[in-house]
């Protein structure tokens, strides 16, 4: 049976519009490869210190990112090393010498756990303290750290831009 021109046109249109969709995997793999390289290049190397909600860090325009090292956290009540409370702030302030005994014992224990010798500039340590911490207590903490062999001391701060400072 012979079809009319109109029927042929409908049939051509139907075949063209109702094809099964195909997926070009080569292009898809190219896109994902480019995406992976883009994310690797643009991923920032941000390191975040575990911050206690009771500690409000001072603001600074420091450019150096924090490194992964032993952290001494000083809250309103406690001095904490590696998640363990080593001394009370009230007791540390009232001690006569510049050393805090509980902190010194914990830092000595941390030194004994590490098998590598201390670098010439001293072992690194970060002190994370509230911005309202009295200098007298900060000086005792730093003195205790130096006495225990941690003489490369960093103070944790909240980074800001020069415009905000």
What is the end-to-end Cα distance of the chain in Å, rounded?
87
pLDDT at 165 over 60: no
Query: Which burial class, exposed, middle or buried, applies to 79 when counting CB atoms under 10 A from its CB (0-12, 13-18, 19+)?
Result: buried
Could you tell me which CATH class the domain 59-159 is placed in? alpha beta
- Per-residue pLDDT of 92-121, as tens digits, reads 888 878 888 889 999 999 888 887 787 888
Q: Given this model, what pLDDT does residue 140 score?
A: 92
Domain limits, CATH 3.30.420.270, in the chain: 59-159
Q: Residue 55 has what pLDDT? A: 65
pLDDT at 50 over 90: no
> Tokens standing for 96?
């006569």
């Amino acid at each position: 049976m012979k079809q009319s021109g109109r029927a042929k046109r409908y049939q051509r249109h139907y075949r063209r519009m109702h094809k099964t969709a195909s997926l070009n995997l080569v292009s898809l793999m190219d896109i994902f490869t480019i995406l992976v390289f883009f994310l690797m290049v643009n991923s920032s190397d941000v390191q975040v210190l575990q911050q206690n909600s009771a500690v409000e860090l001072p603001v600074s325009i420091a450019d150096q990112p924090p490194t992964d090292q032993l952290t001494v956290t000083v809250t309103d009540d406690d001095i904490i090393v590696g998640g363990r409370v080593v001394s009370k702030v009230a007791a540390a302030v009232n001690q006569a010498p510049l050393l805090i005994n509980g902190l010194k014992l914990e830092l000595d224990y941390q030194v004994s756990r590490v098998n590598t010798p201390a670098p010439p500039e001293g072992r690194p340590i970060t002190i994370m303290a509230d911005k309202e911490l009295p200098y007298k207590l900060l000086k005792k903490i730093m003195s205790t750290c130096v006495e225990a062999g941690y003489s490369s001391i960093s103070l944790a701060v909240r980074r800001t831009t020069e415009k905000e400072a």
